[in-house]
Structure 1
Amino acid sequence: MSQKGEILIVGLGYVGHALARALEEADVPWIGLRRQPEADPRIRCVDLDGAGVDLSGLDTRRIVYLAPPPKDSEGDPRLRKVLEALEGQRPERFVYASTTGVYGNQDGAVVDETAPLHATTARALRRLDAEQALVAAAARWGTRWAVLRLPGIYGPGRLREEQIRAGLQVPCPEICPPGNRIHRDDIVDVILRLLEEDAPTGFFNLADNEHMSSTDFARAVADRIGVALPSCIPDLEAYYAAHPGMASFLREQRRIDSSRIRKALNWSPRYDHALAGIEASLRGERSGQTQA
């Protein structure tokens, strides 16, 4: 990666910390913004829900935005405050992590970046607002941008092991729809490439090619940690009644196609198959790579 100043990471959560580690290993300087204070002097404590955001003194030429919208908002006021603060120090490159939820329910169809956007859930509508705000600002500034539409993120510490050990209930395999996910380290790999001088601009899906259902994924994790799951639930509506938080995820059926980013970057995921990603995640947990 080119040594063109610091990378500004907005949102140092699960992916943000992994990205910071990767930049450090590549000897690329970075600065992070996070709500919670940390001892690392490279991390600035910033409240994106405050009256305004002060980015003075920061290198804003290359930005990776990983902060989620507020859960109770319409749109994404956090991102909009950051964009407002950037009016006087416009970035050259801006990478934003969005969600495949903006596609909504596609009835199990294969979905690429040309698919219609049928976002209906509040969380997907907030992300769609953020995408639109960024693209409008980037067009006004002449900023090169990339929006990564991400499905379920997994990796070390993100395998639902606690729930599995506690007896996680899952729908029976024959009724559980296909799923979409991406390993944390593959997200980091792509972000690093998108920060390069010649990186492409646009919307990009990022997902593995397996489309493993949530049931099969949970069973694969359980098998590898030596846990037997309880009997599966043979009816989806009964499952939704018992686990209402999962209804919106499983009712929105789609198979994410990430061919565009693979071709644009001449890149393939390290973990295009979930079993390899699960095993790598378990090894990562043992080596302590689970920081949120």
Structure 2
Amino acid sequence: MPRRPVLITGGCGFIGTHLAGRIAASGTPVVVADLAPWTGGPGVRAVRLDVADAGACRDLLRSARPSVVYHLAAAATVDTAHADPAAALRSTIGGTMAVLEAALAVGGVRFVLASTDKVYGELTTAAYTEDSPLAARGVYDVGKLSADAVTRLYGADLGLPVAVLRLCNVFGPGDPHTASRVVPRSLSRIFDPAGPLPPVLYTGSLHHSRDYVFVDDAVRALVALGTDERAAGGVFNMAASAHRTTRALVAEIVARSSAACRAGDPELAAAIAATGYTVAPGPPVPALTRQHCDAALLRSRLGFRPTVPLGAGLDRTIAAVMAARGLVAAPSNGATRGYRRAART
């Protein structure tokens, strides 16, 4: 008998594309459901779906009969959610309810939710644990908190096999959100086709601190929650590869981008190193100041640890951007190199 497929809602997004590719490479059939077109690799069947359409969700799950649903569909960023709250909440909350109901009706489905560390709100202790109070604020954060809570309700009270992963900031090749997320936004300016531009930092976020994890490790954790019986019913904080202030992260992105160009184009490398960063008023949308997760539960119960250090992940992301621009990156040994802090402009 062929294996039952895996369904990924929001599967055409940044994390979803990486997740679908990894699962398809293992030989498991993959169905991605999204309003966006599929632009990833082979072995994936793409279905156009509005996750807030309960009837369409029910029909899809009845026809696909997935063994696992990875529910990634939601408002993509804080900025897009803030710009259109009604659409964001419809997608994030209404979509989660519709897919949960469909999974419950079909039966035999494990539901894995990609949640966020933003459900905890402002950090007031050393780190969030899974038992920390949930105090989200803002459209994006409250939408994700609601989806998180509803998923746990369907697991605890209605008997649906569920697991929740509260992701930190995920970065890596292929992230299209160059207007809002710090890594792709910075790289889009550093490798602007017209010449290097300084990444933009906002006055209010210079000292914001966040956990960061490379997309391959986030995908590994999602797969573990969908396949490991020890994850059933669990809520897990994502394990980060590093914790950085926004300013320190951008300085490292500039330095590593320059280093990647040094062998092939010393002039470009010098121009990138000279960009530093520029500071603008903002941010345009209120943001949390400090976020940091304790991921001891993910480690103790599932034996999970990140395998890609921050530096190696940045090098791989930079190489992908350079390849898309027709540039050749210097090979990286995967080690976290030392770097000189870029000048501020």
- How does the TM-score come out when normalised to structure 2? 0.71
Name which of 135, 142, 145 aligns with 1:128.
145
Once residues 26 and 61 of structure 1 are traced to their aligned partners in structure 2, the CA distance between those partners, rounded to angstroms, is 15
**In the TM superposition, what is the alpha-carbon distance from 1:144 to its structure 2 partner?**
2.4
Alignment match, 1:35? 35
SS of alignment partner, residue 52 of structure 1: helix
Asked if 2 retains the 8 angstrom alpha-carbon contact of 1:171 and 1:215, the reply is no
Count of aligned pairs between the two proteins: 275
Once residues 130 and 255 of structure 2 are traced to their aligned partners in structure 1, the CA distance between those partners, rounded to angstroms, is 35
SS of alignment partner, residue 76 of structure 1: helix
**In the TM superposition, what is the alpha-carbon distance from 1:95 to its structure 2 partner?**
0.8
Does residue 162 of structure 1 match 2:165?
Answer: no
Q: Deviations over 1:201-228 (max 9, x none)?
A: 3111113152111111111111122223
SS of alignment partner, residue 165 of structure 2: strand
Alignment match, 2:117? 100
Once residues 69 and 90 of structure 1 are traced to their aligned partners in structure 2, the CA distance between those partners, rounded to angstroms, is 27
Once residues 38 and 169 of structure 1 are traced to their aligned partners in structure 2, the CA distance between those partners, rounded to angstroms, is 31
Asked if 2 retains the 8 angstrom alpha-carbon contact of 1:151 and 1:180, the reply is yes
CA spacing shift, 1:167–1:245, aligned 2, 3 Å = same
Moved more, 4-13 or 133-142: 133-142
**In the TM superposition, what is the alpha-carbon distance from 1:120 to its structure 2 partner?**
1.4
**In the TM superposition, what is the alpha-carbon distance from 1:192 to its structure 2 partner?**
1.6
Matched to 1:243, the amino acid is G
Once residues 199 and 225 of structure 1 are traced to their aligned partners in structure 2, the CA distance between those partners, rounded to angstroms, is 40
**In the TM superposition, what is the alpha-carbon distance from 1:49 to its structure 2 partner?**
4.0
Asked if 2 retains the 8 angstrom alpha-carbon contact of 1:103 and 1:115, the reply is yes
Alignment match, 1:48? 51
Alignment match, 2:96? 79
Higher Cα Rg, which structure: 2
SS of alignment partner, residue 101 of structure 1: helix
SS of alignment partner, residue 209 of structure 2: coil
Once residues 166 and 111 of structure 1 are traced to their aligned partners in structure 2, the CA distance between those partners, rounded to angstroms, is 36
Asked if 2 retains the 8 angstrom alpha-carbon contact of 1:5 and 1:59, the reply is yes
Superposition map of 1:113-152 within 5 A: 113-152=130-169
SS of alignment partner, residue 70 of structure 2: strand
Once residues 175 and 286 of structure 1 are traced to their aligned partners in structure 2, the CA distance between those partners, rounded to angstroms, is 26
Asked if 2 retains the 8 angstrom alpha-carbon contact of 1:69 and 1:79, the reply is no
Identity of aligned pairs, percent?
Answer: 24
**In the TM superposition, what is the alpha-carbon distance from 1:90 to its structure 2 partner?**
2.4
Alignment match, 2:283? 244
Matched to 2:238, the amino acid is L
Name which of 262, 272, 285 aligns with 2:299.
262
**In the TM superposition, what is the alpha-carbon distance from 1:287 to its structure 2 partner?**
6.3
SS of alignment partner, residue 179 of structure 1: strand
Once residues 46 and 263 of structure 1 are traced to their aligned partners in structure 2, the CA distance between those partners, rounded to angstroms, is 37
Asked if 2 retains the 8 angstrom alpha-carbon contact of 1:6 and 1:31, the reply is yes
Once residues 229 and 243 of structure 1 are traced to their aligned partners in structure 2, the CA distance between those partners, rounded to angstroms, is 20
CA spacing shift, 1:114–1:87, aligned 2, 3 Å = closer
Higher relative CO (Cα under 8 Å, sequence separation at least 6) belongs to: 1
Alignment match, 1:192? 223
SS of alignment partner, residue 42 of structure 1: strand
CA spacing shift, 1:149–1:261, aligned 2, 3 Å = same
Does residue 6 of structure 1 match 2:5?
Answer: yes
Stretches of structure 2 that go unaligned for 5 or more consecutive residues are 176-182, 191-195, 259-271, 325-345
Matched to 2:318, the amino acid is L
Alignment match, 2:330? none
**In the TM superposition, what is the alpha-carbon distance from 1:262 to its structure 2 partner?**
1.7
SS of alignment partner, residue 57 of structure 1: helix
Once residues 26 and 20 of structure 1 are traced to their aligned partners in structure 2, the CA distance between those partners, rounded to angstroms, is 10
**In the TM superposition, what is the alpha-carbon distance from 1:141 to its structure 2 partner?**
4.1
- How does the TM-score come out when normalised to structure 1? 0.83
Q: Deviations over 1:88-131 (max 9, x none)?
A: 20243111001100111113622111211111122111111101
Stretches of structure 1 that go unaligned for 5 or more consecutive residues are 234-238
Aligned Cα root-mean-square deviation (Å): 2.7
**In the TM superposition, what is the alpha-carbon distance from 1:17 to its structure 2 partner?**
1.0
Q: Deviations over 1:139-159 (max 9, x none)?
A: 344232211111211011443
CA spacing shift, 1:150–1:100, aligned 2, 3 Å = same
SS of alignment partner, residue 68 of structure 1: coil
